[in-house]
Every structure is written in C-alpha cells, then in structure tokens.
C-alpha cells in the first residue's frame, strides 16, 4: 500500500464506499478477549511495520473525527480534548526547564 492508495484488502464491490475509519483486513480476536497465555501468539499475528502503525493512527484519527468533529451538533468536547492534549504536550516538552524550579527558594 503506497501513499494515497486504498488498502489491498478493500474491495468496493463487497465493502461499498470507502471508510477511512474502518479496518478492511481479516478480523481477529479483540485484545480484551485474549487470555494471558495466548498473548504471544496474538502479538505474533499483528503487523508492526511503519505503514501498519501509521494506518492504525489514521483510523483512530478518522474515528475521532467522525465521533466528535463532524456531527452537526458537535459541542465543546473536541475543543476541550484538543486543549487538554496541547497542555499535556507543552508540559512534557517544557518539563526539563520546570524541574529545576521545583526546589528553588525565592527570598527577597
């Protein structure tokens, strides 16, 4: 699968219109239903290449878009989610600068 192409498993005659939030590969057992002894075999069946990881991120993004951003009455939830995510991101990238001020005492 290259950039801008449909997945190899997608068949328009079977699946209908393409949905970027749907996985068109063979269905497998959900992670919540996997027993601890079967976890190694379950992980072995996963594709862990860069294109598979990016595909999963893309599907997750489109599921979020369809649920929160694209309904007619979306509400304030997506704005709050983006705000909290950006606050957490900027806290993480500035943590190294802030950690030095933790034990600092300011006396005048």
SS (H, E, C) the chain: CCCCCCCCCCCHHHHCCCCCCCCCCCCCCCHHHCCHHHHHHHHHCCCCCHHHHHHHHHHHHHHHHHHHHCCCCCCCHHHHHHHHHHHHHHHHHCHHHHHHHCCCCCCC
Residue 53 belongs to what domain range?
12-101
Q: Is 7 within a domain?
A: no
**Prediction pTM value:** 0.68
Could you list the pLDDT tens digit for every one of the 108 residues in the chain? 567 788 888 888 998 899 888 888 888 888 899 999 999 998 888 888 888 888 889 899 999 988 888 888 888 999 999 999 999 999 999 998 888 777 767 665
With respect to residue 2, please indicate whether it lies within any of the assigned structural domains: no
| Total domains present in the chain | 1
Residue 71 resides in a domain:
yes
Q: Is residue 31 part of a domain?
A: yes
In a domain, 1, yes or no: no
Query: What pLDDT score was predicted for residue 108?
Result: 56
């Amino acid at each position: 699968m290259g950039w801008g192409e449909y997945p190899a498993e997608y068949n328009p005659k079977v699946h209908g219109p393409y949905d970027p939030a749907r996985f068109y590969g063979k269905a497998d057992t959900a992670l919540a239903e996997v027993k601890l002894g079967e976890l190694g075999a379950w992980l072995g069946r996963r594709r862990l290449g860069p294109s598979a990881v990016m595909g999963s991120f893309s599907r997750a993004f489109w599921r979020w878009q369809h649920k929160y951003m694209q309904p007619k009455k979306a509400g304030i939830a997506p704005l709050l989610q983006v705000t909290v995510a950006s606050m957490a991101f900027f806290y993480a990238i500035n943590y190294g600068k802030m950690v030095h001020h933790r034990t600092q005492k300011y006396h005048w």
